[in-house]
Amino acid sequence: MKIAYLLECYDVRLRQVASPHTVSNKYILDDLSKNESNSYRIYSVTIKKWEGKETLNISKPKHSFHPKVLRLELKSLFQFNEFENYIPILKNHIEFTGESIFFAADPERLNTFFVYEKCAISELPPKERFFLYCHQSLNLENQNIKLAIKEKVFKFKSKLKIEHYIHKNQLTIEYQLNKLIKQINPETNNELYEFLDKYDNSDCLKSIYRNLENLLVFIEKEYHDFLNVNIMVPWRTVLMNEYEIKPKLDFVRDSLLSMEIDQELLKIIFDPVLIVSTINIQKQITYYQFNYAVEYISELAQLLIENPNETRESEIFDWLLDLNINSFRNFDYITSKLQFELNTCESDYERLELLYKKLKKFNQHRSKIKKSFNEKLPEIKVQICNWLEEEIEFINRKRNLEDQHTGNPKEIKTNNKILLGLSVAQISYFVNILMQTGIIKHSNQREVFRMIADNFKTNVTDNISVDSLSSKFFNVETSTKNRIKEKIIELLNLTKK
């Protein structure tokens, strides 16, 4: 199935909601009548028992095409034995029209069942028909869109093309969802999914939002490995995961608040917890943030279960590394602790010995979580190792200067440095690629940067800064990526000659 623009049907429905007169009542009637065999008026019947008495609570009827109605197994009067004693009483509460009647049990509530009465589409008020048309038509179109996506993905020969296609559709759907949220303007999270059954513009827009979000959830489940993790996670995904997350979230929150630990340390541990606990329609988060927070809460809950007794701050300190909290707050906290230890040393020799021990410890540490709290920053282990290396380098240079008998340090020789036709940012990004692909296998990034600074220069500067290389290694601009991409294409073209 070939569809030029996947969301064209959604654009059409939005235009029709804005201007209902653009679609005739006859067209809507004909469209809904195609499924008239499944058209029912549905009543929810709840049995309440109080002081030996039973009462029936009967809801207002909903049509079977309503977005909130689930598909259930229908039974005739002779097959429905669960609540047969209550069926004769229903005539006193419901004005039946004489059409065929069926029954269904509520799969979640044992004291509730549903009454289905056949209903002609033509009997429905025009506003209700239009609302049902919006939902039903998009619900059916979603099946065509899903099939089109599957067929398109199946034809792609590379993962890169699949990823690009999925990212493009994600962005398109997210853009439309954000537009709908602005139009609906819900005050609470639940309001977005509540229908007032006035069948006005607001209800129609909510129906469109619901179907569009279902499409995004489908892409999320089917093509999880190809998702753009920087796209905002749909609220429906959060709700679907809430049942699994909430008990762990509550346990983690209660356990942390009961601890007597440094308040700054408590804030650091709480940062990822707050990501999930404060999420709402107006304050959404990305897939990356959501996935990290869910994994973080699960791992932290496990650590708390494994350590039920009073936990020392030194143990929690290690947890910060295990859970890869690479925030600036955590970096400042760890380095302040390290600096305090350094200040207690009486000589540079003791300081160097302490720094080398700490460097060995951090280098050999393995995090429990591969993702990091802030994807734009390096892992906390890398940040701390860089800090330790800078401290070691500073002390060594200071000692060298003190050992020199001459007052003037040697001038840095630049004559023998090799000139590169790249900027510092481009060199840093190119090295990043070489390390990711395993061409450069050296694990210590700082040493690689130092080698480049000692042996290479650019058209702009003879002395490349190690810190500059380090900062640009993790913060890459789009223009830098594009320039390196052009150079790589040039290299590829040379291999064809």
Per-residue pLDDT of the chain (497 residues; tens, 9 = 90+): 455 578 899 999 999 999 888 888 899 999 999 998 899 999 998 888 887 787 888 888 899 999 999 888 888 877 777 777 777 778 777 878 888 888 888 888 888 889 899 989 998 999 999 999 999 999 999 999 999 999 999 999 888 999 999 999 988 998 898 888 889 888 877 788 888 888 999 999 999 999 998 998 899 889 988 888 877 777 767 766 666 778 888 888 888 888 778 888 888 888 888 877 776 656 677 888 888 888 888 888 888 888 877 777 778 878 888 888 988 999 999 999 999 999 998 888 888 899 989 888 888 888 888 888 888 888 888 889 889 988 888 888 877 776 664 454 444 444 578 888 888 888 988 988 888 888 988 878 888 888 898 888 888 788 888 877 887 887 788 888 888 898 888 888 888 76
Check residue 57 and report its DSSP letter: E
CA distance 391 to 184: 55
Those residues whose C-beta lies under 8 Å from the C-beta of residue 331, and which sit 6 or more positions away, are 380, 383, 384, 387
The sign of the dihedral angle between the CA atoms of 293, 295, 297, 300 is: negative
With contact defined as beta carbons under 8 Å apart, do 141 and 9 qualify?
Answer: yes
Residue 440 backbone phi and psi in degrees, to 5? -100, 120
For residue 329, give the nearest of 377, 367, 286 by alpha carbon. Answer: 377
118 in helix, strand or coil?
A: strand
The one-letter amino acid at 45: V
Query: DSSP labels for 390-413?
Result: HHHHHHHHHHHHHH-SSSSPPPPP
Please name the residue that has the structure tokens 């050992």: 403
- Judging by DSSP bridges, how do beta strands 418-419 and 456-457 pair with one another? parallel
With contact defined as beta carbons under 8 Å apart, do 64 and 40 qualify?
Answer: yes
The proportion of the chain whose per-residue pLDDT surpasses 90, expressed as a percent, equals 22
Write out pLDDT tens, residues 92-128.
Answer: 778 788 888 888 888 888 888 898 999 899 989 999 9
Terminal Cα distance for the chain, rounded:
41
C-alpha Rg value of the chain to the nearest Å: 32
